[in-house]
A and B are shown apart, each in its own frame.
Chain A
Amino acid sequence: MAVSTTMNHAAVTPAERRVTRSVGLVGADRLWALAFVAPYIAVFLAFVVYPVGYGIWLGSDPASYRALFADPVYPEAVLNTLIYLAVAVNLKLFLALLLSGFFMRKGWWVRTLLLIFILPWAVPGIPSFISIHWMLNGQWGLINNIIWDLFQVDGPPWLDQPALALGSVIYAHIWKWLPFWTIIFLAGRMAIPRELYEAADVDGASRLDRFLLITFPLMAGLYLVCTLLSAIWALGDFNAVRFISGGGPALSTHVLATLGIRNAFELGNPRMGMATVLSALPLLIPLVILLMRQLRKGEVQL
C-alpha cells in the first residue's frame, strides 16, 4: 500500500491510468497473454478457490456450530477476539500516528533512533515472541527480575492470570507491529505539502490546530484504510497468541484463529475448527466491504 503522492514512481495518477483503453487482443498476442496469466490463474484456482470452497464445505455442517456454541471456551474466544481487535489495533495505530509526528523531526539522532525503532519489525516474529514469553515468565522472567531488583517485590504473574495474559498478547502485537505502521504514517505525513503548514504558521495556528486542521483531515483516509487492514490481519493473527500465552491460562486467551486450529488439529474435529474460523465472517466481511469502498475512492492505493 502506498500514499500515492509519496511514491516517486507514481508519475501517473490512478485517474489517468484508468482512462487507458483495454484492447481485445488478437492472434499470437492473445495466446501470449493467456500463457502469461496461466500461472497466476492456476495458483488462484488450486490454492485459493479450491481451499476456500473446501473450507466452506467443511464448515457448512450445522451440527459443528451447535457443538461450537455449546463449548464454554467459544464465547470467551469471541470476546478475546473483539478485545484484541478493538484494543490492539486501535491503540497501536493511534500510537503510530503520534510517533510518526515525532519522527518528522530533523537530525541525525532522529534517523538513528528510527533505525533502532524499526528493529522489532525487522527481527523475525517467532524468536521475538518466544523471547517475550520468557521475558514475562512470572518466576524467572526479565521483567519481574527487574521489578524485584528495583522494588524488592514480586511482579505480577503476567501469563498466569487471564486478563494479564491477554494484555501480554496485546503488548506483543503492538511491540511487533508499531514500527511498521509508524513508517506508513510517516510516509503519509511526508506527502503533505509543507506550504500548508507554513501558511498555517503565518495565520498563527497552534500545534494542536496544525494537527487538527491539516494533518488529521489529510491523513484520515489513510488512517481508516490502515485500521481496516490491520484489523483484518489481526483477526487472522495466530502466532502472537500461540507463542505468548498459548491460549492459556485455562484456555482463557484463545482467539478465533487459534481456537480453530485447536479444534481442528488438537481435538481432531476439522469441521468444528472450520466452523470456528467461519464464525468470524460476520466480523470480517464488513471490514472487507468498508476497505473496498475506501480503496475505490482512490485516495489510498494498495
Chain B
Amino acid sequence: MTTARLDRRLTGIATLVFGLFLILWSILPLYNMVRVGLQHKEDVFSNNTWPPHPTLDSFRTVLHEAYWLLQNFWGQMGNSFYIGVAVALLTLTIGTLTSFTIGRMRIRQGWMLTNAALMTYVIPMSFLAIPFYGIMGKYGLTNNPLAVIAVEVTFATPYAIFIFQQYSGSIPQELDEAARIDGASPPQIFFRIYLPLMAPALVAIGTYALLLSWNEYLYAFLLLSSDGNLTVPVGLGKFLNSDEAPWNYLMAASIIYAIPPLVIYYTFRRKMSGGLTMGGVKG
C-alpha cells in the first residue's frame, strides 16, 4: 500500500470518527429526552442508560391529559399557537409597512426608524423584563396573552425590518414608479406589487417570529398567571415542583411540544438558511 493511499484511508477513518462524535454530541440531550419519555414512572430514578421496559405510556398520558399536571396540556398548546400566529402576523404587518415606507416611499426620516430598530435589536430581551412587568400592569395587560404578544412583536419587528429592507433591495424600483405613473396609490403598490414580490422574505420572517414566541419562557412566565392562559414552556416549568417527579411525562410532553417547530423548521429550512436565521438566537 502506498503512503498516499494509507494517508487517505486514515483521513477517512478520522472523518468518520469525527462525524460519529458530532452526531453523539448533537443528539445526546435529545436522546435523554426520548429515553426518559419511554420509561415507566418507576424506572425514572434508576441507573439505566437505555429504557429497561420501553413504553409509549407517557405519550398516551400526555395525549389524553391523563395526569394532573397535564390537565390543560392541549389548552396550553392552543395558547402557544395563538400567541405564535398572532406574533407572526403582527410582525409581518408592522414590519412590511415600515420597511415599505422607509425603502419604497423613502420618507426623509427613514434613518430614524432604522436606528430605532437597531437600538431595539441590541437590547438584551431579559433586561427589560422588570420594567415591562410594571408597564403591562399600567396598560392593564397582565395575565393577558396580548402582553406576551406585544413583547414578542416588539423584539421581532426590528429584525423583520432589516430583512425586508435588504430583500426589497432586489425588487426594481422601476416597478413602483411605473405603477405610480399609472395612478396607483401607495396602498395599491403595497398590496399588488410589494407584498407578492416579498413572499419568500415573508415566509422566512413569519417562521422566525413564530419560533421566537414559541420558545419564550421568561415573559410568558411573568405575564401570564391563570391556568387557562399558560403556554407550554410555563406549563412544563410547573412540573419541576411536584413531589412525584413525573419526569417521563415531562419529557414526553417536551417532545410533543418540540414537534411543531421541528416540522416548521425543516419545511422552511432552505428559506431560512444563511442570513435569514440570525435573529433566532435572540433570547
Which residues of A come within 8 Å of B, CB atoms? 1-3, 6-7, 9-12, 17, 20-25, 28-29, 32-33, 36-37, 39-41, 43-44, 46-48, 50-52, 54-55, 58, 99, 102, 105, 109, 113, 115-117, 119-128, 130-132, 134-135, 140, 142, 145-146, 148-149, 175, 177, 179-180, 183-184, 187, 229-230, 232-233, 235-239, 242, 257, 260-261, 264-265, 270, 273-274, 277, 280, 284, 288, 291-292, 301-302
Contact B29 A55 (CB under 8 A): no
Supply 23 A–B pairs (Cβ within 8 Å), ascending by A: A1-B278, A7-B275, A21-B106, A36-B105, A46-B139, A48-B154, A52-B131, A54-B135, A102-B18, A119-B27, A120-B26, A123-B261, A125-B215, A126-B217, A130-B240, A140-B45, A140-B47, A180-B277, A229-B278, A236-B125, A265-B130, A302-B159, A302-B162
Contact A36 B98 (CB under 8 A): yes
Contact partner of B251 among A3, A123, A131, A301, CB < 8 A? A131
Contact partner of A47 among B47, B154, B214, CB < 8 A? B154
> Is the C-beta of B68 less than 8 angstroms from some C-beta in chain A?
no
Contact A113 B125 (CB under 8 A): no
Q: How far, in Å, is A244 (CB) from chain B's closest CB?
A: 11
Q: Give CA–CA (A239, B126) in the complex, Å.
A: 9
Q: How far, in Å, is A22 (CB) from chain B's closest CB?
A: 5
Contact B169 A130 (CB under 8 A): no
Q: Give CA–CA (A119, B217) in the complex, Å.
A: 20
Contact B262 A237 (CB under 8 A): no
> Is the C-beta of B218 less than 8 angstroms from some C-beta in chain A?
yes
Contact A40 B18 (CB under 8 A): no
Contact A257 B126 (CB under 8 A): yes
Contact A51 B131 (CB under 8 A): yes
Q: How far, in Å, is B282 (CB) from chain A's closest CB?
A: 6
Q: Give CA–CA (A99, B19) in the complex, Å.
A: 11
> Is the C-beta of B179 less than 8 angstroms from some C-beta in chain A?
no
Which residues of B come within 8 Å of A, CB atoms? 15, 18-19, 22-23, 25-33, 35-36, 44-49, 93-95, 97-98, 100-102, 105-108, 110, 113, 116, 118-135, 139, 150-151, 153-154, 157, 159, 161-162, 166-167, 169-170, 173, 185-187, 190, 200, 214-215, 217-218, 222, 233, 236-237, 240, 247, 250-251, 254-255, 257-258, 261-262, 265-266, 273-278, 280-283
From B102, which residue of chain A is reached at the shortest CB distance? A37
| Residues of the B chain whose Cβ atoms lie less than 8 Å from the Cβ of A25 | 105, 107-108
Given known contacts A236-B127, A260-B130, A134 and B122 CB-to-CB distance under 8 angstroms: no
| Residues of the B chain whose Cβ atoms lie less than 8 Å from the Cβ of A123 | 30, 258, 261-262
Q: Give CA–CA (A48, B121) in the complex, Å.
A: 11
Q: Give CA–CA (A270, B130) in the complex, Å.
A: 7
Contact B128 A52 (CB under 8 A): yes
From A230, which residue of chain B is reached at the shortest CB distance? B281
Q: How far, in Å, is B201 (CB) from chain A's closest CB?
A: 8
Contact A238 B233 (CB under 8 A): no
Contact A113 B233 (CB under 8 A): no
Q: Give CA–CA (A155, B135) in the complex, Å.
A: 47
Given known contacts A124-B257, A126-B215, A261-B126, A119 and B26 CB-to-CB distance under 8 angstroms: yes
Contact A17 B218 (CB under 8 A): no
Q: Give CA–CA (A52, B251) in the complex, Å.
A: 37
| Residues of the B chain whose Cβ atoms lie less than 8 Å from the Cβ of A44 | 116, 120, 154
Q: Give CA–CA (A116, B27) in the complex, Å.
A: 8
Contact B120 A1 (CB under 8 A): no
Contact B157 A43 (CB under 8 A): yes
Given known contacts A6-B275, A274-B130, A127 and B94 CB-to-CB distance under 8 angstroms: no
Q: Give CA–CA (A238, B97) in the complex, Å.
A: 32
Contact A145 B49 (CB under 8 A): yes
Contact partner of A37 among B107, B118, B150, CB < 8 A? B107
Contact partner of B170 among A11, A52, A120, CB < 8 A? A11
Contact partner of B100 among A36, A117, A183, A239, CB < 8 A? A36
Contact A140 B131 (CB under 8 A): no
Q: Give CA–CA (A251, B282) in the complex, Å.
A: 25
From A17, which residue of chain B is reached at the shortest CB distance? B169
Contact B236 A127 (CB under 8 A): yes
From B282, which residue of chain A is reached at the shortest CB distance? A233
Q: How far, in Å, is B93 (CB) from chain A's closest CB?
A: 7
When A and B form their complex, which 5 residue pairs have the shortest distance between CB atoms, in order from nearest? Answer: A236-B124, A2-B275, A127-B254, A55-B131, A9-B170
Contact partner of A273 among B44, B130, B187, CB < 8 A? B130
Contact partner of B108 among A17, A22, A179, CB < 8 A? A22
Contact B49 A3 (CB under 8 A): no
Contact B128 A302 (CB under 8 A): no
Q: How far, in Å, is A108 (CB) from chain B's closest CB?
A: 12
From A119, which residue of chain B is reached at the shortest CB distance? B26
| Residues of the A chain whose Cβ atoms lie less than 8 Å from the Cβ of B125 | 236
Q: Give CA–CA (A257, B218) in the complex, Å.
A: 11
From B105, which residue of chain A is reached at the shortest CB distance? A33
Q: Give CA–CA (A33, B160) in the complex, Å.
A: 18
